[in-house]
Chains A and B, each alone.
Chain A
């Protein structure tokens, strides 16, 4: 029973992990708490749902959803982020929230506010190990998200593009002096984090077989919590945080009841912020901008 819950928690954690990595890219490099990411998570799930409802095959539906998310994210960069330099540091947060509300309401107008059933894509096959039941979709999504994160961390550590990104994260001025084209790099990062969030939305839809215009809110906010627990700007921190938050959520639902979830999850976040503000794997904050 306990082992089964741990497995379920890790599966849920894999989704939080991807969202947390998306947030961590935006915060760690761009110093921007991008509240449109929960909206892009929802776009990932809802657009694939809408396309499949029109009879498109799943891979094309997923591709359209990812493209839509990337395009919206470029708009966010243009309208919310690029204005950051001229105003209060909180301003981009407001416009990115505006994007979240806009996306939710556009999808609401199109598909209604009800939860919709997402078609089952993978055969309903379960692996059984002893008493454990593990769904095929769960294994696939855990493997894919871990693979993606592993690739991303290699990419950041070992390639030239990754080095450029880390330089910008370290110091914008230095990066500019070293001849890094920040104006080109920033939109690329926006697209990358949007793709991660939308992909997490698709995985969520495939796994739990339900989508709704508001599916991004709860998960997006827990993704932020996961990012902070692990340590802002650290990819492996986001992984650890995501898995921890997923575990804390599933275990508290099964042992303490569904109403207590927010106390354990956000209590954990609060505790970490007070005891170790830089997060479990993060370095102490060198910048104090928002």
Chain B
């Protein structure tokens, strides 16, 4: 496999993980615009453990992920008191604060960045991304996913039916944060370098863009959205400087025609029917 293709597929794997980190809270009706902050927590925590304490990568990355999840619980409890646009803005502010804190943390190199001693091969990254996708497919078939949909569709009714709305919301938020931290930890170990500037608002916002583009009705949406957003700009590379302009124009027109996203529940139903009657 050429180095270029490997590079693109690795970026795809990171984008897929980020997309599911956004998808989980979104499935419970929360727009998280601060996902980059949780990625930064996972990246810096796992890099610090590998560098300073000589932890192996396979222990450090899950630890970083768990830490990001824990932060998700701690921050989620006060932040999830807000709703809708307020919640989106709170997560937005949170992402900014977290990356600014790391930018000023001299223990992990501050603005100069933080080199990481251990290396995760592309194979490891792909396996991890595949693992995240499988986990999400599994979660989407459990009662938990059903509760999330209930909370999203109508919190009052969900509450009346005995679903712990707050619990579900915090759980979805924290799980999303843990997935983001996992992706961040792998990112640090694959590129062997972390800098706080990478985990900026645009990273969070673009991830939300993939997910909504792919569609949030089904669990396949984030995967398709991330693949589309990673691969299509590469294909458009021929028209170099017009690439992003063309791409942005396409997104605007696409969302105007199909606001529910690329993959919808009814689209999947068509495929299923075909499989039954060959």
Contacts and interface: CB of A to CB of B under 8 A. Distances in A.
Contact of B100 (A35, A80, A260, A274): A260
A139 B116 CA distance: 50
Interface stretch (A81-89, A130-138, A155-163, A170-178): A81-89
Given A259-B104, A266-B97, 13 more contacts: A97-B205, A98-B251, A101-B251, A105-B241, A109-B241, A221-B201, A262-B97, A262-B100, A263-B104, A269-B93, A270-B94, A285-B84, A288-B83
B81 A267 contact: no
Interface in B97-144: 97, 99-101, 103-104, 110-111
B244 interface: yes
Contact of B79 (A35, A80, A274): A274
Interface on chain B toward A: helix, strand, loop, or mixed SS?
helix
Interface residues of A, number: 49
Given A90-B31, A273-B82, A106 B245 contact: yes
A7 interface: no
Interface residues of B, number: 47
B182 interface: no
Given A33-B85, A94-B251, A263 B201 contact: no
Interface on chain A toward B: helix, strand, loop, or mixed SS?
helix
Interface string A89-107: 1110111011101100110
Contact of B86 (A90, A106, A277): A277
Interface of A: 27, 33, 35, 79-80, 83-84, 86-91, 93-95, 97-99, 101-102, 105-106, 108-109, 217, 221, 224-225, 228, 232, 259-263, 265-267, 269-270, 273-274, 277, 285, 287-290
Interface of B: 26, 31, 78-79, 81-86, 88-90, 92-94, 96-97, 99-101, 103-104, 110-111, 201-202, 205, 208-209, 212-213, 216, 241-242, 244-245, 247-249, 251-253, 255-256, 259-260
A35 B248 CA distance: 13
A273 B89 CA distance: 8
